[in-house]
Amino acid sequence: MKRKDRIRDNSRRQSLKGALLNQLRARQKQASKKYRGKKKLNNFNANQSSYKCRQTLGKALKRAVHSLPKDTNKRMMVVQHLAQNLNIIS
């Protein structure tokens, strides 16, 4: 059934001329713009990280962890204080 529909629609599109062809192209162009807009919006909401690449985030985390004190109590105090200053925890 789908195959017959596809063949029928393709033959109808090939036989279009003039104003009808322009209308079809305008509709397809509008649909493409709408799809790209939704896709861009979904990608923007899904990835809110300021890091574009996960390797860059890993490198930044490695540098941050490496610069922390070796003592676990001091390390926890520094991280807790940073989180409070950045309003991550209260």
DSSP H helical ranges for 1-90: 2-14, 18-46, 54-67, 72-85
Distance CA 45, CA 38 (A): 11
Distance CA 9, CA 20 (A): 14
Q: How many CA atoms lie within 13 A of 69 on its CB side?
A: 9
Query: pLDDT per residue over 26-77, tens digit each?
Result: 999 999 999 999 988 887 666 577 888 889 999 999 999 999 999 999 999 9
Report pTM.
Answer: 0.44
Phi-psi region of 18 (alpha: psi -120 to 50; beta: other; left: phi over 0): left
Residue 43, pLDDT score: 73
User: Is 89 a residue whose pLDDT tops 90?
Assistant: no
Contact 54, 63 (CB under 8 A): no
| Mean pLDDT calculated for residue range 2-16 | 93
Residue 46, pLDDT score: 60
Residue 52, pLDDT score: 84
